[in-house]
């Protein structure tokens, strides 16, 4: 209800975006003056040089045919639902005319979910690979039955799991895995892996390395149980929310959404998550349907 009150009109949405676009107040991009008025098309006009600025120009909302009130509702719906929403679901909830519109906006939102300069994982971190996607279960190996190889890293906390990172990888070679580890996990952390040769020698790169030996496990005990949990939750999410209709070429964006949801699952303020994504949206370059579709 609070949301409905805040964003009833286009003007309210624009004013909200303006706060994030000009955190320290409007400044004319041409002459640097700070005084302006708003014309009847919602453009900001510099009082001195008459420069016209659209708040949405150069942002993810650039030239959108949908009203901002609808886009805001779509984003709110995506953030507020525990497991997110499919394009079909969003189309139904908002009464959108086309599936394509819903699909495109969800993809635009996913591009906002990786924050620049985010902290790497640290502490005790399990790392392993899994196969994702495809309709049938296939043989191990890249591309088997339309499956993609995904590497998962998850922090192990005293109780349960911490943050995760997921990435599609071309292979499980030492080179590929080392690159992922260096990009996503702080040096000095303890990596827990299985005995796969791709992880051999990682201790020389500034990490502690613990190898879980399958043969020493007790009956029913799993190697890397946290990874298995994340992998099965991910697959269930793709099957459940999205019925697996995601298209391989888009999987990395779904991994970003999954990571965003997992790492913020304990956040009590959905409103704050919405705000963080809007902040991202005003600095994000516009994304057109064509560029998403032609991937």
Closest CA to 91 of 81, 105, 79, 80: 105
Nearest approach, Cβ of residue 44 and Zn ion (Å): 10
Q: Which is nearer to Zn ion, 34 or 62 (CB)?
A: 34
Q: Which is nearer to Zn ion, 32 or 225 (CB)?
A: 32
Q: Which is nearer to Zn ion, 28 or 87 (CB)?
A: 28
Q: What angle do CA 136, 224, 178 make, to 5 degrees?
A: 85
Where do contacts with Zn ion occur on this chain (CB under 5 A)? 28, 30-31, 33, 46, 48-49, 51
CA distances from 123 to 156, 169, 187, 210, 215 (A): 8, 23, 9, 13, 25
The strand pair at 190-193 and 124-132 is best described as parallel
* C-beta of residue 64 within 8 angstroms of C-beta of residue 72: no
Q: Which is nearer to Zn ion, 33 or 182 (CB)?
A: 33
* C-beta of residue 270 within 8 angstroms of C-beta of residue 105: no
- The DSSP secondary structure of 6-48, one letter per residue, reads HTSSHHHHHHHHHHHH-TT----TTT----EEE-TTS-EEETT
Nearest approach, Cβ of residue 56 and Zn ion (Å): 19
* C-beta of residue 282 within 8 angstroms of C-beta of residue 17: yes
Nearest approach, Cβ of residue 70 and Zn ion (Å): 32
Q: Which is nearer to Zn ion, 25 or 201 (CB)?
A: 25
Nearest approach, Cβ of residue 29 and Zn ion (Å): 8
């Amino acid at each position: 209800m609070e949301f409905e009150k805040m964003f009833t009109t286009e003007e309210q949405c624009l004013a909200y975006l303006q706060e994030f676009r000009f955190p320290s107040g409007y400044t004319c991009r041409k002459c640097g003056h700070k005084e302006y008025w708003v014309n009847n098309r919602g453009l900001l006009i510099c009082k001195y040089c008459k420069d016209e600025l659209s708040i949405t120009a150069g942002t993810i909302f650039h030239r959108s045919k949908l009203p901002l009130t609808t886009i805001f509702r779509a984003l709110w719906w995506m953030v507020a639902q525990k497991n997110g929403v499919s394009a079909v679901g969003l189309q139904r909830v908002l009464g959108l005319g086309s599936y394509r519109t819903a699909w495109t906006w969800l993809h635009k939102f996913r591009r906002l979910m990786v924050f620049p300069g985010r902290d790497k994982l640290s502490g005790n971190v399990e790392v392993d690979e899994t196969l994702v996607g495809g309709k049938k279960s296939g043989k191990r190996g890249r591309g088997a039955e339309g499956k993609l190889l995904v590497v998962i890293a998850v922090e192990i906390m005293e109780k349960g799991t911490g943050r995760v990172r997921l990435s599609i990888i071309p292979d499980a070679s030492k080179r590929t895995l080392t690159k992922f580890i260096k990009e996503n996990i702080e040096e000095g952390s303890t990596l827990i892996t299985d005995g796969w040769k791709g992880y051999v020698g990682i201790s020389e790169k500034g990490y502690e390395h613990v190898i879980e030996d399958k043969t020493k496990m007790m009956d029913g005990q799993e190697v890397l149980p946290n990874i298995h949990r994340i992998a099965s939750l991910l697959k269930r999410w793709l099957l459940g929310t999205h019925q697996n209709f995601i298209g391989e070429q888009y999987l990395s964006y779904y991994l970003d959404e999954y990571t965003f949801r997992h790492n913020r699952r304990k956040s009590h303020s959905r409103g704050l998550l919405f705000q963080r994504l809007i902040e991202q949206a005003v600095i994000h370059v516009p994304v057109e349907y064509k560029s998403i579709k032609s991937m």
